[in-house]
Amino acid sequence: MNWQDIDLQQHFEPGTNAPTNYNSAFYIVISDGEVLKHDQLPVWQPLDHNEWQWSGLEAKAQHYLGMISDCPLYVVEVDENADEPEGYSFDTLWSFLGKVELNVFSLIGRAKQIVDWYNNHQHCGQCGSATESGQADRSTKCNQCGLMFYPRLSPSIIVCINKGSDILLARNAQAGGNFYSTLAGFIEPGESIEETVHREVFEEVSLKVKNLRYFGSQSWPFPNSLMLGFHAEYESGEIVIQEEELSDAQWFHYNDLPNKPASISISGWLINDFIRRAELGQI
């Protein structure tokens, strides 16, 4: 099967129970948190069965991700000191952002999150005993106390706030590069999603917002967030930034924006959606 002919949205079916017999397969290879890529191909693709067999790499752990048409897809982790096969190199997940299609990026992110989860749950966080992989689902189980561990997702909100034709964009104090994005934050225990939006906005820029409208969601594998996107309107207040989180925050007219996030991210989707509606006179 030619990887370039595959439509992941149509042909990928996630799963946890690998088939016992198959003639071909695909392998996403990860070492020390980095993903293997072919240096000469114009776009990324996983290794096929022959490429994996002749790579000279040895799997530390292998996890079944699902089926692509009639081919199983695996993520394999290899030793961090393993030599790269000739013509291949390892690169960070960040390096794929904006350089591969969204469905491909999501698939690579899924693979890395599963590897990270498995590595972080080799021992029980309650009693310290060794864990073993579950047979019926994607989980590990403590051999001593029976506690189960599933892949962790951290739900968070991300919100595009507008005041008329202006939107609020901020620069993260910890992020590299000179770009501005929408506000985001993690949901606290006991909060509703809407309560988180109001709290995070007030904490980070001292503003109150109104008319929240849910936009959509995105899995964001840095490291394991589920981003829940909203539009909101300015209600009151003056910008006072939380300096531990932000280095700057300003109102920008929609046709005079600073460097903004890649369109592959939900922050970019929110901003582009606002621009589209503003240009149509729907704001």
pLDDT in tens, 110-157: 999 999 999 999 999 999 999 999 888 999 999 999 999 999 999 999
Please give the order of strands across the beta sheet that includes 140-142: 131-133, 140-142, 148-149
Q: What is the pLDDT of residue 271?
A: 97
Q: What is the pLDDT of residue 69?
A: 85
Give strand ranges (E) for the chain: 12-14, 26-31, 34-38, 47-48, 59-68, 71-78, 88-91, 131-133, 140-142, 148-149, 154-163, 166-172, 183-186, 208-220, 225-236, 246-253
Q: Which residues contact 280 (CB under 8 A, 6 or more apart)?
A: none
Domains of the chain: 3-120 (3.90.79), 154-279 (3.90.79.10)
Q: Provide the token pair at 108.
A: 């690579």
Enumerate residue ranges in the chain where pLDDT < 70.
Answer: 176
Give strand ranges (E) for 81-220: 88-91, 131-133, 140-142, 148-149, 154-163, 166-172, 183-186, 208-220
Instruction: Compute φ and ψ for 270, nearest 5 degrees.
Output: -60, -45
The one-letter amino acid code at 93 reads L
Q: What is the pLDDT of residue 136?
A: 83
What pTM does this model have?
A: 0.90
Q: Provide the token pair at 156.
A: 């968070």
Whether 183 and 205 have beta carbons less than 8 Å apart is answered as: yes
Nearest to 188 by CA among 220, 156, 159: 156
